[in-house]
Amino acid sequence: MTTEGASVLIRARMWIDGAERDAADGQTIDTFNPSTGEVLATLPRARAEDVEQAVASARKSFESGWGRLHGDERARILWRTGELITKHAAELARLEALDTGKPIGNALAIDVPRSAETFEYFSGWATKIHGETIPVKAPFLNYTLREPLGVVGAIIPWNFPLLLAARKVAAALAAGNTVVLKPPEEASLSCLALGRILLEAGAPPGTLNVVTGVGEEAGAALVAHPGVNKISFTGGTETGKHILRAAAATLKKVTLELGGKSANIVFADADLESAIPNAVRACFYNQGELCTAGSRLLVAESVLERVLDGVVSGTKAMRVGEPLDPKTQMGPLVSREHRDRVLGYIAKGEEGGATRMTGGPREGRGYYVEPTVFSGVTESMTIAREEIFGPVLSVITFKDEAEAARIADATEFGLATGLWTRDIGRAHRLAHQLKSGTVWVNGYNLFDAASPYGGYKQSGYGRENGFEVLRELTQVKSIWVGLK
Ligand code: NAD
């Protein structure tokens, strides 16, 4: 990667077989700085031929490089990767802020350290994945081997490129697989830096290949490739369905982390001092470009006035600004197209009869949208049903626990739900009842590399993190031995 002049034009190259490469046909795509709208970087536009080379290199490392290393050697390299991410924290956070528009303070506090922790966590698993002995009838011995799948294709979106790549890559490598990573076309720079860091940590060439380009080209070629054993996808629900259909041709395994329309439920007995600022963060963290964004705030009628006042004043107080300013709390959205889509939803909210309490469009350069709160939202409104993936909060009231649970689950998604209550019985009752892959009680957006994470319903299937993801990145072989 080279940087030209003061205007920061980054000429990036991708990683195949341990070397930096341009696309075979020399084509490139441009990416934009969301805070200015100017070109930030040019990336190789990989197509089937480049993906072919990346898969061949991943296969070679699986068979004679990474795949041959003992777990303790893999563990050391993964741990070192975590250390190097920490060492390069300033560079990685800057790339992430420039590329995605997220505030650099958030990238330094969350994206980078969580990525390092993820490699450190999965480093521990590299020596602890094993089969079992099964007590079958004599005269036979039966045991299992838990084996890696081979080459894993990882496809990720632009909201947390480094962290989502870390989750997929660290887990796949810990289990003994090798990886071809297709970063998002809007923001690939931190993933390319990760390709370099893995090599610096001592991974054999081809263990992690990073192919940049367009989803329908490089991504589709990866999904179609018969030499890829599994696709681990995070992104939109429609793209996920498309990928699943395409993967059927080669029957490769697929896991899908898709969209959400999460409810954050505030009961009248909640600690409102904590619930109110958390409701603001739950929706507006990362510009609302978060699959678990608490975009539907369900509030008990009896505390509506206090919660709404607090949420609106907390939202107005958010510092929206330049991503590289350490004081910024919310940056621009990732692209012009996405900003326009989010503004379209704000218009639909008003047309649908909801009341805009604060927020809306923002004049000037860059893809900014003010954090926006709608009150008087009803379940049937578009803004209450569709994933906006931007800074738009819909406040909906409920009468009692049954109604809160019904509204929370009245969506095609099932990624995460937040509950704020001091009633421990209600908290567990609802946590068991809700059709949601994660339930947070008196907290929101809590994640840990050790804790399984994934969706119910159309939020996808499969789990990331913890041992659960390792089940999905390995296959079990049953071996019978006659003892006579
Ligand atoms: P997207 O689905 O448009 O793109 C995601 C990735 O898929 C990109 O790398 C893209 O290049 C690739 N892609 C696109 N078309 C493809 C195809 N035909 N074949 C193969 N790959 C293809 O999503 P996006 O707009 O970048 O991200 C936003 C979405 O991601 C939201 O719906 C959000 O909820 C979801 N998301 C989910 C999670 C989760 O963990 N559940 C986390 C973050 C984001």
Taking only the tens place, the pLDDT of each residue in 33-81 is 999 999 999 999 999 999 999 999 999 999 999 999 999 999 999 999 9
Give the Å distance between the CA of 71 and the centre of ligand 1.
Answer: 32
> Which residue, among 83, 79, 86, 87, has the nearest Cα to 111 in the 3D structure?
86
* 161 in contact with ligand 1, CB cutoff 6 A: no
pLDDT of residue 468: 98
CA distances from 402 to 148, 398, 463 (A): 45, 9, 29
In this predicted structure, the answer to whether residue 333 has a pLDDT above a threshold of 90 is yes
pLDDT digit string (tens) for 336-345? 999 999 999 9
> Which residue, among 253, 295, 235, 285, has the nearest Cα to 417 in the 3D structure?
295
Domain boundaries, the chain: 10-258+459-478, 263-448
Residues taking part in catalysis? 257, 291
pLDDT digit string (tens) for 139-171? 999 999 999 999 999 999 999 999 999 999 999
pLDDT digit string (tens) for 375-415? 999 999 999 999 999 999 999 999 999 999 999 999 999 99
Which of 239, 245, 334, 464 is the best mutation target for the ligand 1 pocket, counting ligand atoms within 8 Å of the beta carbon and taking the most?
A: 239
**Cβ distance 365 to 37 under 8 Å?**
yes
Residue identifier of the C-alpha nearest atom 43 of ligand 1:
291
pLDDT of residue 4: 47
Mean pLDDT score across all residues of the chain:
97
pLDDT of residue 20: 98
Arithmetic mean of pLDDT, 118-145 = 98
* 256 in contact with ligand 1, CB cutoff 6 A: no
CATH, domain range 263-448 = 3.40.309.10
pLDDT digit string (tens) for 93-117? 999 999 999 999 999 999 999 999 9
* Fold (CATH) for 10-258+459-478: Aldehyde Dehydrogenase; Chain A, domain 1 (3.40.605)
pLDDT of residue 7: 53
Sign of CA dihedral 57, 157, 275, 316: positive
Query: 3-state SS of 398-435?
Result: ECCHHHHHHHHHCCCEECEEEEECCCHHHHHHHHHHCC
pLDDT of residue 5: 42
pLDDT interval class at 9 (50, 70, 90): confident
* 289 in contact with ligand 1, CB cutoff 6 A: no
* 59 in contact with ligand 1, CB cutoff 6 A: no
* 40 in contact with ligand 1, CB cutoff 6 A: no
Residues of the chain above pLDDT 70, percent: 98
Give the Å distance between the CA of 238 and the centre of ligand 1.
Answer: 9
Measure CA of the first residue to CA of the last residue in the chain; give whole Å.
Answer: 62
Read off the pTM: 0.97
> Which residue, among 331, 323, 340, has the nearest Cα to 288 in the 3D structure?
331
Residue identifier of the C-alpha nearest atom 9 of ligand 1:
184
Q: How far apart are CA 448 and CA 453, in angstroms?
A: 9
Give the Å distance between the CA of 236 and the centre of ligand 1.
Answer: 4
Which of 155, 230, 388 is the best mutation target for the ligand 1 pocket, counting ligand atoms within 8 Å of the beta carbon and taking the most?
A: 155
**Cβ distance 172 to 207 under 8 Å?**
no
* 243 in contact with ligand 1, CB cutoff 6 A: yes
* 236 in contact with ligand 1, CB cutoff 6 A: yes
pLDDT of residue 130: 98
pLDDT digit string (tens) for 221-247? 999 999 999 999 999 999 999 999 999
